[in-house]
Amino acid sequence: MSSFDLSVITQNIPWLWAGMQLTILLTLLAVAGGIIVGVILALCRLSPWWALSAAAKLYVNLFRSIPLVLAVFWFYFLVPIVTGHPVGPFYSVLIAFVFFEGAYFAEIVRSGIQGVRRGQLSAALSTGLSHVQALRYVVMPQAIRNMYPVLVTRSIIIFQDTSLAFVVGLTDFLTSANIVANREGRPVEIYCFVAVVYFLLCYAAEAGLNLSKRRVAR
Amino acid sequence: MIKIDGVCKWYGSHQVLTECSASIARGEVVVVCGPSGSGKSTLIKCINGLESFQRGDIVVDQESIKSPKTKIYKLRSRVGMVFQSFELYPHLTCIENITLAPQKVLKRSRDESIDRAKTLLKQVGLSAHGAKYPSQLSGGQQQRVAIARSLAMDPLVMLFDEPTSALDPEMINEVLDVMVDLARSGMTMVVVTHEMGFAQRVGTRVLFMDAGVIVEDRACSEFFDRPESDRARAFLSSIVRR
């Protein structure tokens, strides 16, 4: 019992992998959905229509002022009321993540677009490009370049935050590790392994980001 | 070619252009000068509709900017503009900067656009730099690429908004030389600048502006020899002293 026993990890890999699959699935769907909601919110915020802009601003500030765990609980109880039938913990957590992270992505997208010098749009329009063409060929490529490092960083945070899924009874990577640790009575090995896995994945994502940033830096 | 007729513009309650009128004929090189904040840049940005104005009208090549029938994008494609801060697209190479609008607006083929871009780069003395990105070039080189980018649309008229103000002194002449060549080739040009040497070399007329008003509209030689207004005299002496 006192020695560090790695076999407890290798024996439980299938369990832990099942948890990791849920973590990855939840992260990917949350990031994709969050970006879609974020782009819509950002366009509303930047729209010249006052009411739309104010509504988007209220939404963003509201969600950025509450803890994620509250949003998870909130949607867990709210969604069945709205839809009229239970949707299960996975979908309620996913919806909570998408709406919550959408607020953060909205700010990233908005600052990315606003970070492009106003003169770039003027220059593009002055050559006869239409507004849509100017956005597509001149403004957006630069905006995406501005915002993608922050998008990746935010996605890494989401990856870590998906461990909150346990509060509604989902078995993500951390939760599955928790179960294994209790069952086997070897928390030290298991939690060390979990830390190493989280570290390696997040560090690899950061390293990849830095590498690609250097390549496009001009 | 261009007729500016009683243009007035307000930002809120602050009037930035007051009853501005002038007409510019084909082949003329009109220099717009005046103290900063006098409305020069605003006025030339009205000519291609980058700035709106509340009263008056501007007619470019028989098309009124204000008329609902005018397609502003079409009109802009025939009016080139060069900006103080170059505004090359940083994510595109020089060739791509120059070929973007010809391909997307004029629907020219890629090959045709590239050939034309190479010719223009040669004209501005930058043949060797087509594949480079703007950040790899000096300010003077960037501005020359920006001029080539505007010329690629075969514009009827070129607008220059303080094209040398953001440049280091040693780079000003390489840009002015390109502009002088362009003027001598017969291009119609409206140039906001403080480079009085340029005005004296190729300028045909001067519009002197102060506080949103065109104070003097006269032939270049007359303006420099015998400015009529006190304001123009004060402005000229301040420029010479610099």
Q: Domain for residue A178, yes or no?
A: no
| Residue A48 contacts B where some CB pair is shorter than 8 Å | no
Give the side-chain half-sphere CA count within 13 A for A196. 7
Which residues of chain B have a CB within 8 Å of the CB of A141? 91
Of residues B50, B104, B150, nearest to A125 (C-beta):
B50
Range of the domain at A124: 13-170
Q: What is the pLDDT along chain B (242 residues), one digit of tens a residue?
A: 899 999 999 998 999 999 999 999 999 999 999 998 899 999 999 999 999 999 999 999 999 998 888 899 999 999 999 999 999 999 999 999 999 999 999 999 999 999 999 999 999 999 999 999 999 999 999 999 999 999 999 999 999 999 999 999 889 999 999 999 999 999 999 999 989 889 989 999 999 999 999 999 999 888 988 888 899 999 888 877 65
Of residues B76, B85, B105, nearest to A119 (C-beta):
B85
Phi, psi at residue B26, to the nearest 5°? -55, 135
Sequence-distant (6+) residues with CB within 8 A of B72 are: B49, B65
Measuring CA to CA, how many Å separate B40 from each of A195, B44, B161, B212? 63, 7, 8, 8
| Residue B80 contacts A where some CB pair is shorter than 8 Å | yes
Test the A interface: residue of B89, B137, B162 with most A CBs within 10 Å: B89
| Residue A127 contacts B where some CB pair is shorter than 8 Å | yes
Which residues of chain A have a CB within 8 Å of the CB of B78? 128
Q: Domain for residue A195, yes or no?
A: no
Residue A112: is it exposed, middle or buried by C-beta count within 10 angstroms (0-12/13-18/19+)? buried
Q: Domain for residue A209, yes or no?
A: no
For residue A189, how far is the Cα from the chain centroid?
29
pTM to 2 decimal places = 0.81
Q: Domain for residue A126, yes or no?
A: yes
At B3, which amino acid appears?
Answer: K
User: Looking at chain A, which residue has its C-alpha nearest residue B44?
Assistant: A126
Which residues of chain B have a CB within 8 Å of the CB of A124? 89, 101
At B117, which amino acid appears?
Answer: A
The domain that holds A28 is classified in CATH as 1.10.3720.10
CB contact under 8 A, B101 and A129: yes
- How many folded domains does chain A comprise? 1
Sequence-distant (6+) residues with CB within 8 A of B180 are: B198, B201, B202
Structure tokens at B21: 């009128």
DSSP strand E in B25-162: where? 29-33, 55-60, 63-64, 79-82, 157-161
Q: Domain for residue A108, yes or no?
A: yes
Q: Domain for residue A206, yes or no?
A: no
* Closest-CA residue to B93 (of B76, B118, B112, B119): B118
Per-residue pLDDT tens over the stretch A125-152: 999 999 889 989 999 899 988 898 999 9
Structure tokens at A127: 């050559």
Residue whose token pair is 């040009």: B189
